[in-house]
Structure 1
Amino acid sequence: MTESMMGQFVRFMRFCNRRWVKWPAVIVFLTAITVAHFVMADKYGDSPNAPTWEFTVTLHAAMLVAAAIIIVLYKKYIKRKLMEYGKD
């Protein structure tokens, strides 16, 4: 890792520790996991026949959607704020 990349990484990590960046990301991921859980619980209930692989696939799909949402938010809003933060 070059020195400039390390500087960008450190600046990005300081930026991500801000409350208004960290909590929306946590909320999006927790919402995705909760929705996946309720979808599977609604489909199978407390049945011991609930397939583990299907739950895993649903959970991973929800996480991918959450990651896509965070990437879109980053590109549209957070990246601009990061550039403003870096100029200070």
Structure 2
Amino acid sequence: MLFLPMGFELDEAPPAFKSDTLSLGQKAEANTLVFLKANGSLALAAGIALKALRKLHKDGKRDAQITQFHERAANRTIVDPTPASALPAFIRL
């Protein structure tokens, strides 16, 4: 969720849900790869990218993203039907 575009809104209504989910996932993937490349990682495979993201998180390089996400959630500019229990602790709404 940290790599989703501004104004992220996911509608649970049936015809739009699948296509919206796919589209948002593709945007998040592109944003993730841009972030990794900007921080010196050339990871493309999921496992390697996850390992690189963990290291960046440990080094504090994702703190600004997490803060921005919390601000967007507090301002209600994010609409997500995912239950809070399904989210990692550091991004729970």
TM-score (norm 1): 0.34
Larger Rg: 1
Which structure shows the bigger proportion of residues in helix conformation? 1
TM-score (norm 2): 0.33
